[in-house]
Amino acid sequence: MTDTAEPEVPVVRALTPGARKILDAAEELFYGRGITAVGVDLIAKEAGVTKKTLYDRFGSKDTLVAAYLRARDERWREWLTERVARSGPGAHARTLATFDALAEWMSERNPRGCGFVNAAAELPDPGHPGRKVIAEQKRWLRGLLRGLAEEAGARDPGLLADELALLHEGAMVLHGLAVVDDPVRVARSMAEPAMERAGCVR
Protein backbone atom coordinates (compact mmCIF):
# COMPACT_ATOMS: atom_id res chain seq x y z
CA MET A 1 0.00 0.00 0.00
CA THR A 2 1.28 3.46 -0.85
CA ASP A 3 0.98 6.47 1.42
CA THR A 4 -1.83 7.84 -0.76
CA ALA A 5 -3.93 4.66 -0.79
CA GLU A 6 -7.21 4.79 1.12
CA PRO A 7 -7.52 2.53 4.19
CA GLU A 8 -9.63 -0.52 3.48
CA VAL A 9 -12.96 -0.51 5.29
CA PRO A 10 -13.68 -3.92 6.85
CA VAL A 11 -16.66 -5.86 5.50
CA VAL A 12 -19.12 -5.27 8.30
CA ARG A 13 -21.03 -8.50 7.86
CA ALA A 14 -17.84 -10.59 8.01
CA LEU A 15 -16.36 -9.36 11.29
CA THR A 16 -14.87 -11.61 13.95
CA PRO A 17 -16.67 -11.69 17.34
CA GLY A 18 -13.98 -9.44 18.84
CA ALA A 19 -14.24 -6.94 16.00
CA ARG A 20 -18.01 -6.98 16.31
CA LYS A 21 -17.77 -6.06 20.01
CA ILE A 22 -15.48 -3.17 19.14
CA LEU A 23 -17.76 -1.94 16.36
CA ASP A 24 -20.86 -2.19 18.55
CA ALA A 25 -19.19 -0.11 21.25
CA ALA A 26 -17.90 2.39 18.69
CA GLU A 27 -21.32 2.79 17.11
CA GLU A 28 -22.97 3.65 20.42
CA LEU A 29 -20.21 6.03 21.46
CA PHE A 30 -19.67 7.75 18.11
CA TYR A 31 -23.36 8.42 17.59
CA GLY A 32 -24.14 9.30 21.19
CA ARG A 33 -21.13 11.46 22.05
CA GLY A 34 -19.57 12.43 18.73
CA ILE A 35 -16.60 11.06 16.82
CA THR A 36 -13.96 13.56 17.91
CA ALA A 37 -15.00 13.32 21.57
CA VAL A 38 -14.45 9.55 21.72
CA GLY A 39 -10.98 8.03 21.81
CA VAL A 40 -9.84 4.48 21.17
CA ASP A 41 -9.12 3.92 24.86
CA LEU A 42 -12.77 4.42 25.76
CA ILE A 43 -13.95 2.26 22.86
CA ALA A 44 -11.63 -0.57 23.90
CA LYS A 45 -12.79 -0.29 27.50
CA GLU A 46 -16.48 -0.37 26.57
CA ALA A 47 -15.89 -3.30 24.23
CA GLY A 48 -13.96 -5.22 26.89
CA VAL A 49 -10.84 -5.59 24.73
CA THR A 50 -7.34 -4.17 24.73
CA LYS A 51 -6.36 -1.22 22.58
CA LYS A 52 -3.96 -3.56 20.77
CA THR A 53 -6.90 -5.76 19.79
CA LEU A 54 -8.72 -2.72 18.45
CA TYR A 55 -5.77 -1.75 16.27
CA ASP A 56 -5.25 -5.37 15.20
CA ARG A 57 -8.84 -5.58 14.00
CA PHE A 58 -9.27 -2.11 12.45
CA GLY A 59 -5.82 -0.60 12.02
CA SER A 60 -6.77 2.95 12.99
CA LYS A 61 -9.53 5.06 14.45
CA ASP A 62 -10.24 6.48 10.99
CA THR A 63 -10.90 3.01 9.61
CA LEU A 64 -13.10 2.21 12.62
CA VAL A 65 -15.08 5.39 11.97
CA ALA A 66 -15.59 4.33 8.35
CA ALA A 67 -16.71 0.86 9.49
CA TYR A 68 -19.17 2.46 11.91
CA LEU A 69 -20.64 4.53 9.09
CA ARG A 70 -20.74 1.53 6.76
CA ALA A 71 -22.69 -0.46 9.35
CA ARG A 72 -25.22 2.37 9.71
CA ASP A 73 -25.49 2.58 5.93
CA GLU A 74 -26.22 -1.13 5.61
CA ARG A 75 -28.93 -0.99 8.26
CA TRP A 76 -30.55 2.11 6.74
CA ARG A 77 -30.60 0.67 3.23
CA GLU A 78 -32.13 -2.57 4.45
CA TRP A 79 -34.69 -0.72 6.59
CA LEU A 80 -35.72 1.67 3.84
CA THR A 81 -35.92 -0.80 0.95
CA GLU A 82 -37.91 -3.30 3.01
CA ARG A 83 -40.48 -0.72 4.06
CA VAL A 84 -40.75 0.79 0.59
CA ALA A 85 -41.33 -2.66 -0.91
CA ARG A 86 -43.94 -3.39 1.74
CA SER A 87 -45.92 -0.24 0.91
CA GLY A 88 -47.38 -1.67 -2.29
CA PRO A 89 -46.82 -1.82 -6.06
CA GLY A 90 -47.53 1.81 -6.98
CA ALA A 91 -44.45 4.01 -7.43
CA HIS A 92 -46.29 7.07 -6.14
CA ALA A 93 -47.13 5.34 -2.84
CA ARG A 94 -43.66 3.83 -2.58
CA THR A 95 -42.07 7.25 -3.02
CA LEU A 96 -44.09 8.70 -0.15
CA ALA A 97 -43.33 5.56 1.87
CA THR A 98 -39.69 6.67 1.98
CA PHE A 99 -40.83 9.48 4.27
CA ASP A 100 -42.93 7.14 6.40
CA ALA A 101 -39.91 4.87 6.80
CA LEU A 102 -37.73 7.86 7.65
CA ALA A 103 -40.16 8.99 10.36
CA GLU A 104 -40.10 5.55 11.94
CA TRP A 105 -36.30 5.30 11.69
CA MET A 106 -35.73 8.70 13.27
CA SER A 107 -38.19 8.22 16.11
CA GLU A 108 -36.94 4.77 17.08
CA ARG A 109 -33.18 4.89 16.46
CA ASN A 110 -31.85 8.39 15.86
CA PRO A 111 -32.61 10.94 18.58
CA ARG A 112 -29.54 13.01 17.56
CA GLY A 113 -30.55 13.24 13.91
CA CYS A 114 -28.72 11.79 10.91
CA GLY A 115 -25.52 10.01 11.89
CA PHE A 116 -24.04 10.71 8.45
CA VAL A 117 -24.68 14.45 8.60
CA ASN A 118 -23.30 14.55 12.14
CA ALA A 119 -20.20 12.66 11.04
CA ALA A 120 -19.66 14.88 7.99
CA ALA A 121 -19.55 17.91 10.27
CA GLU A 122 -16.79 16.26 12.30
CA LEU A 123 -14.75 14.98 9.35
CA PRO A 124 -13.64 18.02 7.32
CA ASP A 125 -10.81 16.16 5.56
CA PRO A 126 -12.14 15.01 2.15
CA GLY A 127 -9.57 12.20 2.20
CA HIS A 128 -10.96 10.65 5.37
CA PRO A 129 -12.32 7.14 4.60
CA GLY A 130 -15.54 8.01 6.39
CA ARG A 131 -16.26 10.81 3.92
CA LYS A 132 -16.39 8.28 1.09
CA VAL A 133 -18.95 6.18 2.97
CA ILE A 134 -21.08 9.26 3.69
CA ALA A 135 -21.03 10.36 0.05
CA GLU A 136 -21.92 6.86 -1.14
CA GLN A 137 -24.85 6.72 1.26
CA LYS A 138 -26.28 10.04 0.12
CA ARG A 139 -25.81 9.17 -3.56
CA TRP A 140 -27.58 5.87 -2.97
CA LEU A 141 -30.61 7.58 -1.46
CA ARG A 142 -30.84 10.03 -4.35
CA GLY A 143 -30.52 7.13 -6.78
CA LEU A 144 -33.36 5.29 -5.08
CA LEU A 145 -35.55 8.39 -5.24
CA ARG A 146 -34.68 8.95 -8.89
CA GLY A 147 -35.68 5.40 -9.74
CA LEU A 148 -39.00 5.85 -7.97
CA ALA A 149 -39.53 9.19 -9.75
CA GLU A 150 -38.99 7.49 -13.11
CA GLU A 151 -41.42 4.71 -12.25
CA ALA A 152 -44.00 7.28 -11.14
CA GLY A 153 -43.77 9.03 -14.52
CA ALA A 154 -42.01 12.26 -13.51
CA ARG A 155 -41.20 14.48 -16.49
CA ASP A 156 -37.77 15.25 -15.04
CA PRO A 157 -36.95 12.44 -12.60
CA GLY A 158 -33.52 13.88 -11.82
CA LEU A 159 -34.97 17.20 -10.69
CA LEU A 160 -37.67 15.51 -8.63
CA ALA A 161 -35.07 13.25 -7.03
CA ASP A 162 -33.07 16.34 -6.05
CA GLU A 163 -36.16 17.91 -4.48
CA LEU A 164 -37.09 14.76 -2.57
CA ALA A 165 -33.52 14.21 -1.39
CA LEU A 166 -33.41 17.78 -0.08
CA LEU A 167 -36.67 17.19 1.79
CA HIS A 168 -35.28 13.98 3.30
CA GLU A 169 -32.04 15.61 4.38
CA GLY A 170 -33.70 18.74 5.73
CA ALA A 171 -36.14 16.67 7.77
CA MET A 172 -33.31 14.64 9.30
CA VAL A 173 -31.31 17.71 10.25
CA LEU A 174 -34.26 19.52 11.79
CA HIS A 175 -35.27 16.37 13.67
CA GLY A 176 -31.86 16.30 15.33
CA LEU A 177 -32.07 20.00 16.20
CA ALA A 178 -35.68 19.76 17.48
CA VAL A 179 -36.48 23.03 15.69
CA VAL A 180 -39.61 21.97 13.80
CA ASP A 181 -42.38 19.85 15.26
CA ASP A 182 -42.48 16.58 13.28
CA PRO A 183 -40.26 17.70 10.37
CA VAL A 184 -40.64 14.40 8.49
CA ARG A 185 -44.41 14.85 8.35
CA VAL A 186 -43.89 18.37 6.99
CA ALA A 187 -41.40 17.09 4.41
CA ARG A 188 -43.85 14.40 3.31
CA SER A 189 -46.61 16.98 2.89
CA MET A 190 -44.25 19.02 0.69
CA ALA A 191 -43.28 15.96 -1.35
CA GLU A 192 -46.81 15.34 -2.57
CA PRO A 193 -47.27 18.65 -4.45
CA ALA A 194 -43.71 18.35 -5.78
CA MET A 195 -44.67 15.01 -7.29
CA GLU A 196 -47.85 16.47 -8.74
CA ARG A 197 -45.91 19.32 -10.36
CA ALA A 198 -43.51 16.76 -11.82
CA GLY A 199 -46.41 14.93 -13.45
CA CYS A 200 -46.24 11.75 -11.35
CA VAL A 201 -49.12 9.34 -11.77
CA ARG A 202 -50.90 8.01 -8.69
Mind listing the pLDDT tens digit for each residue in 27-67?
Answer: 999 999 999 999 999 999 999 999 999 999 999 999 999 99
Cβ-based neighbour number of residue 127 at 10 Å: 10
Cβ atoms of residues 63 and 9 within 8 Å: yes
Please give the mean pLDDT across all residues of the chain.
90
Q: Is the pLDDT score of 200 beyond 90?
A: yes
Q: What is the mean pLDDT of residues 151-160?
A: 96
Query: pTM of the prediction?
Result: 0.87
Cβ atoms of residues 156 and 163 within 8 Å: no
Nearest one of 56, 65, 57 to 30, comparing CA atoms: 65
Q: Where are the beta strands (DSSP E) in 78-197?
A: none
